[in-house]
Amino acid sequence: MSYAIQSINSSGFTQIDENSEVFQVIQTGTKAANVSYVTLPNTLPTDCLVFARPAGGRTSGLVQLTGYISDFTISGTRTLRAYMKYNLACDYAVVQRCSEFTAPTSGYGINVYKSNGDLGFTSEQPMLRVIAARAVSFSNSTGAFDSGWYQGTAGSIDTAYVMLGPYIQYKYEQYASFGENFYRYTFRNAYFDYNNHKMGTIASTFSGDLQRGSNVFTRTNTGQKTEIIGYIV
């Protein structure tokens, strides 16, 4: 190690080193219920991440949450939105790479710089603390659903956020059945099991008729993704 500092936590995970930069919180807020999305500043970088949870968290119950980021430009104007479950009020936090912050020059704490001079960590900005993460792989045949991929202890997920992205509409199908044609969307939902202090994934679908003779096909967002739950501090 030639630069900065390296900090390893009590479980052996590296927290800070000279080669990487942490995600730190740039913005937090709440999407109201019965609203599809919140509009984010279009100055945010394209690679920012959005974390969300049921507003205020829970201590019990079961909650499903989907959401994704929409980033599009119309007539030269960029629009950045964070979609979350329509009928659920959600807290959200936008995190971005530390290097995209302006390094603070006042206040307390420390700034840690990478070997290339970029800011890798600053104690001035809130942190995303990862509770657990797992890699998943979608395919046409599986959405990698799991009723409890993270098992925590009492209260461990009560205030936890999940990263939007893996909880998306991952499949669209047009199919025929008994001479009729139909369509079907399949969503992946983060599944907060506050009762059992665990986090899982669950599918939800909705479908409808299509004109007879419509094309039959399946389109899927497939491949690898990572599910993360964590705190915002």
Partner 1 sequence: MAILQTKYVDVGVYTIYGTVLTGFISTGTVSNTQNGSSDVNLDSVFSGADITSFYHSSTSGQGLSFSLSGNRANGTFDTLKIGGVSFARTSATHSYNSSNNRTTWTWSSVSSSPFGTTVGADKQVTWETAGSTVTAPVISGVSNNNAAAASVTATISLSSSGSGGTLQYAQTTSNSAPSSGWSAAPAFSHPRGTTRYYWARRDTNTVTSSVSHSVGYLTGDTGFSRSSPTIAHNAPSATTTIQYATAGETLAIRLNGQSTNLVTAVVASSTQSQNITFSGSLPSAGSSSTYRFFVRRPTSTGGDGSTFVDTGLTFTVTRNAADTTPNAFSFTDKTGNASTEQNSYAQITGINAAATVSRTSGGATFAVASTSTTPSSSNFGTSNTTITNNQYLHVKQTTSSTYNATLSTVMNVGGVTDTWVVTTNPAPSDGTPENYSFTDVTTALSTVAYAATQITGISQTITVSRTSGAAVFAISNSGTTTPTSSAFTSSNKTLTNNQYIWLRQTSSSSNSTTLTSQFSAGGVSASWNLTTVAASGSSGTGFGLRLFPPTGTIARLDTTDRTARVLAVFTGTLAAGGSSSTFTQPGYSSSDITIAVEWQTSGDPQYVSLSSSGTSLTVTRANDPSSFSNNYQVRIFRV
Q: Does 132 bind partner 1 (CB under 8 A)?
A: yes
User: Chain centroid to CA 91: how far?
Assistant: 12
Q: Is residue 134 at the binding interface for partner 1, with CB under 8 A as the rule?
A: yes
Out of 113, 121, 161, 167, name the contact with partner 1 by CB under 8 A: 121
Q: Taking the C-alpha atoms of 145, 155, 232 and 96 in order, what is their torsion angle to the nearest 10 degrees?
A: -10
Query: Is residue 211 involved in binding partner 1 (CB under 8 A)?
Result: no
Taking the complex as a whole, how short is the minimal distance between the CB of residue 175 and partner 1, in angstroms? 16
Q: Please, what is the minimum distance in Å from the beta carbon of residue 32 to partner 1?
A: 23
Is 144 one of the binding residues for partner 1 (CB under 8 A)?
no
Contact status: 133 vs partner 1 (CB under 8 A): yes
Task: Find all residues with CB under 8 Å of 21, minimum gap 6, and list them.
Answer: 97, 98, 99, 114, 118, 119, 120, 121
4, 17, 94, 200: which one binds partner 1 (CB under 8 A): 17
Q: Is residue 184 a contact residue for partner 1 (CB under 8 A)?
A: no
Query: At 140, which amino acid appears?
Result: N
Instruction: Pick the binder of partner 1 from 88, 90, 228, 232 (CB under 8 A).
Output: 228
68 backbone dihedrals φ, ψ, rounded to 5°: -160, 170
Contact 161, 51 (CB under 8 A): yes
Is 163 an interacting residue with respect to partner 1 (CB under 8 A)? yes
Which run of H or E residues covers position 122? strand 119-122
- Burial-class residue 184 by CB neighbours within 10 Å (0-12, 13-18, 19+): middle
Measured between alpha carbons, how far is 69 from 64 in angstroms, rounded to an integer? 17
Contact flags string 62-81 toward partner 1, x per CB under 8 A: ------xxxxxx--------
The span from the CA of 127 to the CA of 111, in Å, is 13
Least CB distance from residue 95 to partner 1, whole Å?
A: 7
CA distance 93 to 23: 11
Out of 36, 103, 126, 158, the residue judged to bind partner 1 by CB under 8 A? 126
Site for partner 1, rule CB under 8 A? 5, 7-17, 20-23, 46-47, 49, 68-73, 95, 97-99, 107-110, 121, 123-124, 126-135, 137, 163, 165-166, 172, 219-226, 228, 230, 233
